[in-house]
Amino acid sequence: MSAAHLPLDGVAVVSLEQAVAAPFATRQLADLGARVIKIERPGGGDFARRYDETVHGQSSHFVWLNRSKDSVTLDVKTAGGRAVLERLLAGADVFVQNLAPGAAARLGLSARELAERHPDLIVCDISGYGSDGPWAHRKAYDLLVQCETGVVSVTGAPDAPAKVGIAIADIAAGMYAFSGILTALYERRATGTARAVEVSLFEALAEWMGYPAYYTAHSGRQPQRVGAAHATIAPYGPYDAADGGTVLLAIQNEREWASFCAVFLDDAALAEDPRFHRNSARVAHRAELDAIVAARFAELDAREAVALLESAKVANARLNTVTDFLDHPVLSGRDRWRDVATEAGPVRALVPPATLRDVEPRMDPVPAVGEHTDAVLKEFGYDTTTIRELRAQGAL
C-alpha cells in the first residue's frame, strides 16, 4: 500500500482548531490519508503560527502539527462564515474543535446541536476540564494542567519541582482524541451510529498519573522527586563517568541486579547485601548504593561504562541533547526521516511512530494561512463572485 492509497482515504475532517491538542489529533488522521480542512482565523490564522519563528521564519509547533492539511480562513462569527462552515460539515465525516470554553455552544456547534443537523457526523470536542462539571468554564493550558494533575509535584529535583519539557497534557489529549475518533469511525461503519467523542486535557493527563496515584493512595505518601532518577526503583538513573559523559542505567529485576553487581561493579557478593538484596531495600538505602555505583563510574569513561553494562545485559542510555537526538543512529538507520515542504522551504520530519506494513504515510506540505480557501470553497459550490463577496464581508 503506497501513499496513493491509505487506510483513511475518503474520510473528511473539518477542524476548528488551534494550538496543540486538536492539531495533533487531526495531523495523525491526515498521516493516515484523511482529508483535513483546517479552519483558521482570517489574517493571522492559528495563533500557534506565531509561537516562534525558528523554522525558516515559521513556528516550530505549527510546522510539527499541521502538515498535509488544507488551510481555509473563515470567520465563523459572521453569517457568511457560518454558512460556509455548515456546507463543509454537511460533507464531512468528523468535526473537531478545541475552542475556548463555551465558544462552540455559543456558535451552535455543540455535539447535540450538530447531531440534529448532521446525524452522521462524528463530533470530537477537546477542552481543558470537560464540557460540564465545576471547572467547565475554566481555560486550561498545558502547564496549568500539569500542575492541577500533580505532574509537576512528582517531577524535578527534591528542592525544585519542574514541569515536563514538552506539552504532555496537550499531547495526551491529542492522542486520546485521535484514538477516540478512530473508534467512533469504526463503530459508525459497523453499526451506523455516529457517536460524539469528548476529551479533556485534565482527564487525559490524569490517566497518565496512574502509577503515582495508586502509589500515593495505598502508601500514604507520594513518590519523591529525584531528578532524572526513578522514585521507586534503584539503581535507576544517571551517573557521571570519568570523561564527563553521563550514562543512565535501569535495573528492573533481581537477575539484572545480580549481573550488574558481578559484571559492572565487580562485586558479586553485593547482590546479597541486606541493604540491597531487593528493590525496596535498595530504594531505602539509595544514598549508600548511589555512592558505590558513582565510585565505579568515576573509574570508567562513558564508552567503557556502556560496554560493561551491555555485557551485563543491563539497560542503559546516554544522556543525549536534542542535537544528539536529531543525529541518532536509530532514526537514520531505520529510515525515519522524510522531507516535508513548507512555504519557506523544506524541513525534515519524522514519519509517524506506528508503522503499518507496506504503508507509506502521507507527508504533504505544511499550508500557508488560507492557502486552500478559494479551492475548497469552489469545490463546495461557491463561485468566484460569491467568494469575492464573502471576502469583502470579512467572512474569509
Contact 151, 223 (CB under 8 A): no
CATH class (in words) of the domain with range 236-318: alpha beta
pLDDT at 2: 44
* Residues paired with residue 122 on neighbouring β-strands, in sequence order: 94
pLDDT at 323: 95
Supply 50's cell numbers: 506565531
Q: Say how far apart CA 250 and CA 234 lie, in whole Å.
A: 8
Positions of the chain with pLDDT under 50: 1-2
pLDDT at 4: 64
- Helix or strand or coil: residue 122? strand
pLDDT at 1: 39
pLDDT at 342: 96
Supply 325's cell numbers: 537526538
- Which residues, including other chains, have CB under 8 Å from residue 149's CB and lie 6 or more apart? 169, 202, 205, 206, 208, 209
Supply 28's cell numbers: 495523525
The full set of domain ranges for the chain reads 12-209+329-392, 236-318
* Helix and strand element counts for the chain (H, E): 17, 13
Contact 138, 128 (CB under 8 A): yes
Q: Say how far apart CA 84 and CA 71 lie, in whole Å.
A: 14
| Burial readout 17-32 (b: 16 or more C-beta within 10 A, e: otherwise) | bbbbbbbbbbbbbbbb
Cis, bond preceding 235 (omega within 30 deg of 0): yes
Contact 140, 133 (CB under 8 A): no
Provide the CATH topology of domain 12-209+329-392: Rossmann fold (3.40.50)
Q: Say how far apart CA 19 and CA 142 lie, in whole Å.
A: 10
pLDDT tens digits for 254-280? 999 999 999 999 999 999 999 999 999
pLDDT at 5: 86
